[in-house]
Amino acid sequence: MSKELAKTYDPHGIEDRLYEKWIAKKYFHAEVDRSKKPFTIVMPPPNITGQLHMGHALDNTMQDILIRFKRMQGYNALWQPGTDHASIATEVKIIEKLKEEGIDKHDLGREKFLERAWEWKKEYGGRITSQLRKLGSSCDWDRERFTMDEGCNKAVTEVFCKMHEKGWIYKGSRIVNWCPVCNTSISDAEVVYEEQAGHFWHIKYPLIDENGAPSTTEFLEFATTRPETMLGDTAVAVNPEDERYTSLIGRKVLLPLMNREIPIVADSYVDMEFGTGVVKITPAHDPNDFEVGKRHNLPEINILNDDATINENGGKFAGMDRYEARAAIVKELDEMGLLVGIEDYSHNVGTHDRCKTTVEPLIKKQWFVKMDELIKPAVEGVKNGDIRLIPERMDKTYYNWTDNIRDWCISRQLWWGHRIPAYYCDECGEIVVAKEAPSVCPKCGCTHLTQDPDTLDTWFSSALWPFSTLGWPDKTEDLDYFYPTDVLVTGYDIIFFWVIRMIFSGYEQMGEKPFSTVLFHGLVRDSQGRKMSKSLGNGIDPLEIIDQYGADALRLTLITGNAPGNDMRFYYERVEASRNFANKVWNASRFIMMNMDGKTIPQDADRHLQPVDKWILSKLNNVVKEVTDNMENFELGIAVQKVYDFIWDEFCDWYIEMVKPRLYDTDDADSQGAALWTLKNVLLNALKLLHPFMPFVTEEIFCTLQDEEESIMISKWPEYRADWNYAAQEKDIEIIKEAVRGIRNVRSNMNVPPSKKAHVYVVSDKEDITRAFTEGKLFFASLAYASQVTVQVDRTGIADDAVSVVIAGATCYIPFAELVDIAQEIERLEKEEKKLQGELARVNGMLSNEKFLSKAPESKIAEEKEKLEKYTQMMAQVKERLGALKK
C-alpha cells in the first residue's frame, strides 16, 4: 500500500477537509428516484438567533446517525434542513440593537424595521447552520429552507385561509399569555415557570343577607396569590358536593372595594380539600376561571392595560402598576377587617423566557385555532399505531396534552413574522380573509381596507414544516415521493408546542400523518445533573469541545449510554475516553496497514482461515446482526456500545494480539495471507458499523485502507452472512480466552512480570478442547506468556507445586519454579516478615499501654486496632508462603 495514515490522529487536520469533500461530491443531496425507497427526516429548525448548544448537538447527532445508517442501507435518504424565523427572539434582538443606536422601533416604522430584520437575518441567520456543519451533519444543504421564505409564506397563507373558511380559525376573546414588556401574546413554549417566594393572602367577602345588605357576621373566606385580580371578580365558586356551602349556592357576596354584588356558583372545578374550598372567579385573568365563567355565563372584566397597569375597570386603583395596586388593595382590605391573614408561599410563576417579565394571563381579542375537531385524528393516529412515540411512556404525556387542549392563540403583536392575511374595511369594519389584499370590501364596496397589524405565532409555520419544505401547497414530485417523512427526532420538552401541532396539521392538510415515528431524547445536563443555563454559568459550548477533542469524540460522548427520553449528564472525562477510543481505532488501523504494506493479499486467502480468524468473523457477524436490529429500533446508545466493545475488546485487544505471531512468520504465506485478509475485512466492516456515530475518523481510515470504494458514506451497510457463522470456533476461542485471563490473573497476583515466560500445560480429557488448544498454540503461547505449551490428557510429568488455573473442561498448570525464583522470593518474604514483626511489636505496645488507652481519642484507638488485625493477617500469609517455599 502506498497510502498511509499520519502517525497520530489529529481531528483538526481531517474534519473540515472531509466535510468539504462530502459537500463537493454531493453525497448529502437527494433527488426523487423511484427505483429506491425513500427515507426522510426533517430537521427541527433551529432559531436564526441561535447559537449551537448541547441540546442541538445531541438532537442533530441522533438525526445524522439515522440518516447515515439508512443511506448506507441503500435508501434514498433525505435529511431536510432549515431554520426558523423565531418571531419574538429575533424581534427582541433587533430592538436591543436599535436601542444601542438610540432608535425606537415605532419611530423607525414597520417597513424600515423589517428591512433591518432581513439584514439581521442575512448577517446572523447562517451562523447556526455553519456550526451544524462542524458537527458533521449530513443534511441536504442544497434544499435548505427558512420559515419565511417564499414557499413557506405561501403555505402559511394557504392554511390560514383554508382553515378560516372551514370555521377553524376565528377571531375572539379568550385568555392568552400576555407579556407586559414585549406587549404581545406569547405561546406556552415561551413561558418559563420559576419558583418564586410569594404569599397567600387570606381574604373574606361579606355575604349579602336576605335584606340585600352585606352581612357583618357571615363571610366566605378564600386565599389568593394575586389580590389585585379581585377587581375583576365576577363570582365565587364552591364544589356542588361540598355540604358546608350547599345552602349558599345561588346567593351573593359583596366584592369589597368595588361595591359590586357577585354570585356564589357551584362548579366541580373547585377542590373541596384545598384551603377553605372557596375560589374567587376572575374569568378575564385566569384560564380555569375563564372556563368556569363560560359554564355559568359570567361577565368577563379585564382590569389590566397592556403594560400591566390597572385600567378604568379598576376604579380608584386605575393607573397604578399591578404590584403597586396589590399593596394598596391589601392595605385597604386590612383596614376594612377583611384581610384574614398572610401566609408565606412558594409557587411557580410564569415568566417570559425572553425578557424575564412575569406573564399575565388576561382576556384579549386575538386570532385562535379551534382545536376540538382538529385534534381528533392526531389522537387516533397515535392510538392506532399509525404514529409511534419512542419511548412508549411518551404516549401518556401526549394524551395528557390532547385531552386538555384549548383553542390555540395564533396572533402576535409583533412585526417580524408572517403577517395575518386578514383585512378590515375602514368603513363598515367587515373582516376579509384572503390570500391577496382585496381591492374592495365585499359588504359595502369601500376601497379602503387595512391589513391586520399582527403576525402569526412562530409555531404556526413550523407546524407545516414536514410538508411545506417539500413544496406544499403545490403538488410537487418531492412531496409525493418523500412525504410522509419517516422519523422526527426532538426533545421531550416540545411535545405539545411542535410535535402535536405538526401531527394535526399533517392529517388536516395532507390527509395523512407527517411522520411514522417520533424519537424523543432527554436534556443534556451538567455533571451534577443540573440543567445547563446562563444564570448558573454551567453551559458547555459544543464548539469548544469540537475544537479541543474533535466532532467524533463529542458525538460518541453524546450517544454513549443514551436512552430515548432520558436526560444525560455531560462529563469531560467521557469526552476524553471517546477521544482515546478514536486514537485506539486509528493506531490499530495504522498497525494493520503497516503489516499490509508491500504485501499482496491472495484472492483466495479466505480458503486458509484458521479457527481464530473464523472466531472474529463470527463475532463480527453477530455484532452486525445485533447492531442493525438496535438501529432499526432506535436503540442508538445500545448499538454504539456494542460496536465500541467489539472494536476495542474483541478486535484490538484480542484478535490483533492473537494474529501478531502469524504476521511476523514469513515461512507460512497462506497463514499470513489469511490473517491479513481477515484483519482488513473485519476492520472495514467495523468502520462501517462505527461510521454513523464517528463519521470523520472512519472515513479517513476507510479511504486510506482501500481503493475499491470512494467513500464510506456511500458504501454498503454490513449484513449478516450465513457463511460467517462459525459457532464451533467461537466456542473454542472463548475457552482459550478464559484460560488466558485466568493465567494472567494468577501471574498478576504473584507479581510475575510479563517478560518472565513459563511452561504452560493444558490438561483435558475432552477431545474438542485439546484440539482447540493444539490449533491455537501459537497465539495462546504469546497471550499466556508461555515459553512452551504442552497439551495432554492427564497430569503426567507436571510438578506437584505447579500453579493451577481451572477453566470449563480443562485445567492449566504452570510449574511454580518457572514463575518464581524461589531463593529470591524466600529472601524477599523474610524481609517482609521482619518488617511486620516490628509493626506488630509497636501496635501491641501501644494497645497494652494504659496511659495511651486512657488519653487517646476513640478514633485513634480504633485505628490502631485495625492495624493490629491487618498486620496479623499479613504475617499469617507471609509465614504460610515461607513454609511452602522452604519445603
DSSP for 580-635, written as a single string? HHHHHHHHHHHHHHHHHTT----TTGGGG--HHHHHHHHHHHHHHHHHHHHHHTT-
> pLDDT class for 665, splitting at 50, 70, 90?
confident
pLDDT value at position 803?
85
pTM: 0.86
Mean of the pLDDT values across residues 841-858?
90
Mean of the pLDDT values across residues 591-615?
92
Cα angle at 615 between 611 and 618, to 5 degrees? 135
DSSP at 531: B
Query: Distances from the Cα of 101 to the Cαs of 118, 122, 282, 879, in angstroms?
Result: 18, 19, 42, 87
pLDDT tens per residue, range 300-349: 999 999 999 999 999 999 999 999 999 999 999 999 999 999 998 887 88
pLDDT tens per residue, range 566-585: 888 888 999 999 999 999 99
Residue pair 16/702 in contact (Cβ under 8 Å)? The answer is: no
Retrieve residue 379's grid coordinates.
389522537
H or E stretch covering 360: strand 360-369
If phi > 0 it is left, if psi is from -120 to 50 it is alpha, else beta; for residue 167 that is left
Mean of the pLDDT values across residues 254-268?
95
> pLDDT class for 2, splitting at 50, 70, 90?
low
Task: Give the residue, 828 or 730, on which the prediction is more confident.
Answer: 730
Residue pair 11/550 in contact (Cβ under 8 Å)? The answer is: yes
Mean of the pLDDT values across residues 411-431?
94
pLDDT value at position 554?
96
> pLDDT class for 1, splitting at 50, 70, 90?
very low
Among 104-118, 481-495, 680-694, 809-823, the range with the most confident prediction by mean pLDDT is: 680-694
pLDDT tens per residue, range 159-199: 999 999 999 999 999 888 888 888 888 877 778 888 888 88
pLDDT value at position 535?
64
Sorted by where each starts, the structural domains of the chain and their CATH numbers stand as 34-158+467-521 (3.40.50.620), 184-361 (3.90.740.10), 551-710 (1.10.730.10), 730-819 (3.30.2320), 822-886 (1.10.287)
> What percent of the chain has pLDDT above 70?
99
Candidates 488, 482, 484; CA nearest to 500 is: 488
pLDDT tens per residue, range 695-729: 999 999 999 999 999 999 999 999 999 999 999 99
Mean of the pLDDT values across residues 472-491?
96
Query: Distances from the Cα of 250 to the Cαs of 237, 262, 267, in angstroms?
Result: 10, 10, 12
Mean of the pLDDT values across residues 629-654?
97
Mean per-residue pLDDT over the chain, rounded: 92
Residue pair 367/161 in contact (Cβ under 8 Å)? The answer is: no
* Order of strands across the sheet that contains 803-807: 786-792, 758-763, 810-814, 803-807
Retrieve residue 586's grid coordinates.
486509528
Residue 732 has pLDDT above 70, yes or no: yes
Residue 523 has pLDDT above 50, yes or no: yes
Mean of the pLDDT values across residues 57-63?
95
Cα end-to-end distance, the chain, whole Å: 59
Residues 6+ apart with CB under 8 A from 605: 670, 673, 674, 676, 677
DSSP at 786: E
Residue pair 135/335 in contact (Cβ under 8 Å)? The answer is: no
Residues annotated in a binding site: 534
Among 262-276, 348-362, 682-696, 825-839, the range with the most confident prediction by mean pLDDT is: 682-696
Task: Give the residue, 70 or 123, on which the prediction is more confident.
Answer: 70
Q: In a 10 Å sphere around its CB, with 0-12 CB exposed, 13-18 middle and 19+ buried, how is residue 83 labelled?
A: buried
pLDDT tens per residue, range 197-252: 888 999 999 999 988 899 989 999 999 999 999 999 999 999 999 999 999 999 99
> What percent of the chain has pLDDT above 90?
73
If phi > 0 it is left, if psi is from -120 to 50 it is alpha, else beta; for residue 183 that is left
For the ranges 260-264, 374-378, 854-858, which has the lowest average pLDDT? 854-858
* Sequence-ordered alpha helix ranges (H) in 252-372: 287-295, 322-335
Residues annotated in a binding site for ATP: 534
- Residue 203 bridge partners (DSSP): 222, 339
Euclidean distance between CA atoms 466 and 483, whole angstroms: 8
Residue 780 has pLDDT above 90, yes or no: yes
